Amino acid sequence: MNRRIAIRDLTLALGGLVSIPAWATDGWNTHSFQLNQSFLKVSEQNMLEVIVETIIPESTTKGAKSLGVPAFLQKMLQDCYEAPVSENIRNGLAATDTTAQKQFGKSFADCDTQQKQQILLSFEKSQDTKLKDFYSLVKNLTILGYTTSEYVQTEFLRYNMAPGHYYGCVPVKK
């Protein structure tokens, strides 16, 4: 065995073990989940928040907006999708407000819940594939972000990170 390779591997393993506590303690909460740079403008971010809240609204349980799903969507769109998809999202957000202005004479954020749902359902049934793709992606990512949140996993799905329990000293019957 080559001593230099063994020292290098040991150093890498030790560095990994030292960094695990820092990663495990604050790597998965909403406060440490920061976007490096937001690719959406503030008005587009607000529109996305309203759309997400329309898809999964606040009720007796927390809604998608209060669980940080809009930040999840932005992070997914920024890190996991190509530029044409991000551009389609921007165009879809603009089209949402334009459609609200045409149909109801007010911005999407000022519409009531039924009007917002009507606009989004019209996108789902639209012949325009770009609008249909926009709504489908936003809806699917909203559902993904909501169902994989810590709140839903622990409160409703009873997720347990390490299922089962080890009982060390148990009497064995013959």
List, for residues 56-106, the tens digit of each pLDDT value: 999 999 999 999 999 999 989 888 899 899 999 999 999 999 999 999 999
Q: Which two three-digit tokens encode residue 150?
A: 């810590």
Q: CA angle 121-126-128, nearest 5°?
A: 140
Alpha helix (H) ranges present in 105-158? 113-124, 129-147, 150-155
Q: Give the pLDDT confidence score for residue 36 in this predicted structure.
A: 57
Considering only 20-34, 51-65, 125-139, which range has the smallest mean pLDDT?
Answer: 20-34
* Residue 30: predicted pLDDT: 55
User: Greater confidence, 34 or 16?
Assistant: 16
Q: Is the pLDDT of residue 157 over 90?
A: no
Average pLDDT over residues 98-122: 93
**Average pLDDT for 14-38:** 59
Closest CA to 72 of 35, 26, 37: 35
Of 32-36, 46-50, 79-83, which has the strongest mean pLDDT?
Answer: 46-50
Average pLDDT along the chain: 85
Q: What is the pLDDT of residue 165?
A: 74
